A and B are shown apart, each in its own frame.
Chain A
Amino acid sequence: MRALRFAARTLRRQPARALLGILGIAAVGALLFDMLLLSRGLVLSMEDALNRAGFDVRVTATASLPGTGPRIGRAPAVLATLTALPEVDDAVALRFGSGRVLMTAPSPPVGFTLFGAEPSRRRFWTVIRGRDLAARGDAPTGEVLINEALAAALGVDAGASIAIRASCVRANEALPPVHVRVAGVARFPFDTVEQRTAALSRRDFAVACGEPDDEGADLILVATAPAYGPDQARDAIARVHPDLHAVSNAQLVRQLAATRFSYFRQISAVLATVTLAFGLLLITVLLTVSVNQRLGTIAALRAIGFSSRRMVADVLAESALMVGVGGALALPVGLLLAAWLDRILKRMPGLPAELHFFVYEPRALWLHAGLMGATALLAALYPVRLVSRLPIAATLRSEITS
């Protein structure tokens, strides 16, 4: 009878203990799996959101975050230079600001985040209803795209006219309102759950800001041409515009992983270590109890000719079986728990709705299996030592006299 089958029979002999052990391992395994999903969840989620926006490289005037540093001057000329590069498929210049929609008294104005986007073939938003902003070049269109939250707050939809008062600099200002027509309702990739957002064409944005001749941009999004990679596009941009700061999505994600998101990796590493330690203790205790209860039988098996190696294999198989079954159960439990925890964490204010804390990747599955396997092996060390050093004659004697 092979060791694994033998171990299965041994476990079935004590079903309550085996079940409790397996459930304990499943709980520990589920927590471990969640920590692995959390360790890179935000990084993967951010990478996915960036890539889904359809642009690979971000260009700013300095290394500061977009909207917090100086603007890129003469954006149309920069755009023309960039789109002429063979590595670049398309590019769009963005302005960031904010705005308010004036409501009838006594309702207070409704605030929102405002984008100004240079018309381009690609858009970083997705139109849900109505139509996109018209790409009419240099002339103002008098159109606006709004997101669902702003549409709901205003009680308007595509085709409605609204008066907005923009705020375009980081100082108090009192710009006159401009009247725009809602072309459509769109989803913007980095909106938070309750964020209200609107997008104008770059020209309309400049008009709303009272600076119709302003050609600045806070950020230029670049889509790489199919034959090239983002790094090649970034290098090409750096060659033609060494005065600007270009980063690929992958670079940005690496920066975020090393700085802002590193807390989650550290927390998950600590919690995963603690979880594994609990798992190790749990399995060691279960196996040790199991071995101690069977010392007489083990000594008898050794006496009738079972080798020490075979008895060690039995203990390892028992450990592997418990951890294998518990670890397999841990995966669906862990996924359910992760979904629940993700919903709780996403209630944090200011978090983009498309970001997730717990994200599945195959690497997490392999790492989980590896760590659980290593735990099973380590946990079996002490019981294996008991079995391999068991004095056969003395144990048989004590079994008779006890």
Chain B
Amino acid sequence: MTLVEACGVTRVFPMPAGPGVAVKDVSLEVGAGDHVAICGPSGCGKSTLLHLLGCVDAPTTGALRFEGRDVAALGDAERSRIRLTRIGFVFQRFFLLPMLTAAENVELPQAEAGVPRAERVARTRDLLSYVGLSARADHRPSQLSGGEMQRVAIARALANRPGLLLADEPTGELDEATGAQIAALLDRVNDDGTALVIVTHDQTLARRAARVLQMKDGRILDGCHRS
């Protein structure tokens, strides 16, 4: 089943020196359970493409459909709802809320989605156990290491059982060993059925994906499937 489908998508940003094309005529399909890595040099449009796939941004031209719905036709509230319930985001800088504990950070999107308290407490406990942080549930981000913060961010991204998890340089702020742990955790998430699209410079991380897309100057140069 296709989760997100981009057809001839272009994203142009107004720049002081004239319009800048971040993504140019990209067509791409991500299906349920897919594991895709997007690689390329800095400024090639990887993150912009990820934001388009995650309904955070809208294409200048071309069509983008999420689970068959034309994203351009959706209002802000509907797109927010899709992001909240169907898409998980993992950021390079984690963006955990510093005033909340690890458990509260994981609970936050569930509360926003209207999940009953008892249900979200149980789900949060399960997720923190899943990422190996049961003992750190009551710690604030400032009391956690970088790897632990990213694991909490992954748990938060999975909180509302999304079909698609988007990760933008998830190991970018971590050392090699910790990055490998996060990569293994993301593999596990994918193995458990969640489609995964990772933007990364890290070739080791990219090689774990079933499909690796190389981007340059806003275009996808090639894509190879791995078994």
Contact = CB atoms under 8 A, between A and B. Distances in A.
Interface of A: 1, 9-10, 12-13, 296-297, 300-310, 392-394, 396-397, 399-400
Contact of B83 (A9, A12, A305, A393): A305
A306 B51 contact: no
B50 to A, nearest CB: 9
B91 A300 contact: yes
A305 B57 contact: no
B51 A392 contact: yes
Contact of B84 (A300, A306, A397, A399): A306
Contact of B47 (A296, A307, A308, A397): A397
Contact of A310 (B13, B47, B112): B112
B191 interface: no
B93 A303 contact: no
A1 B104 contact: yes
Given A1-B104, A305-B80, A13 B98 contact: yes
Contacts, number: 81
Chain A interface main SS type = helix
Contact of B99 (A13, A301, A304, A307): A13
A303 B83 contact: yes
Interface of B: 13, 47-48, 51, 54, 56-57, 76-77, 80-85, 87-89, 91-93, 95, 97-100, 104, 107-109, 111-113, 156-157, 160, 168-169
30 contacts: A1-B100, A1-B104, A1-B108, A1-B111, A9-B99, A10-B99, A12-B99, A296-B93, A300-B89, A300-B91, A301-B97, A302-B80, A303-B51, A303-B56, A303-B91, A305-B82, A305-B113, A306-B80, A308-B76, A308-B77, A310-B112, A392-B51, A393-B48, A393-B56, A393-B57, A396-B51, A397-B47, A397-B48, A400-B168, A400-B169
B204 to A, nearest CB: 20
Contacts of A297: 95, 97
A59 B72 CA distance: 80
Given A12-B99, A393-B57, A400 B111 contact: no
Given A392-B51, A397-B47, A307 B89 contact: no
Contacts of A399: 93
Given A308-B80, A399-B93, A303 B54 contact: yes
Contacts of A300: 89, 91, 95
A296 B98 CA distance: 12
Contacts of A309: 77
A307 B77 contact: yes
Nearest to A401: B42
- Minimum-distance CB pairs A-B, first 5: A305-B84, A300-B95, A305-B83, A13-B99, A393-B51
Given A1-B111, A308-B76, A310-B112, A392 B84 contact: no
A392 B93 contact: no
B111 A304 contact: no
B85 to A, nearest CB: 7
Given A296-B93, A392-B51, A305 B112 contact: yes
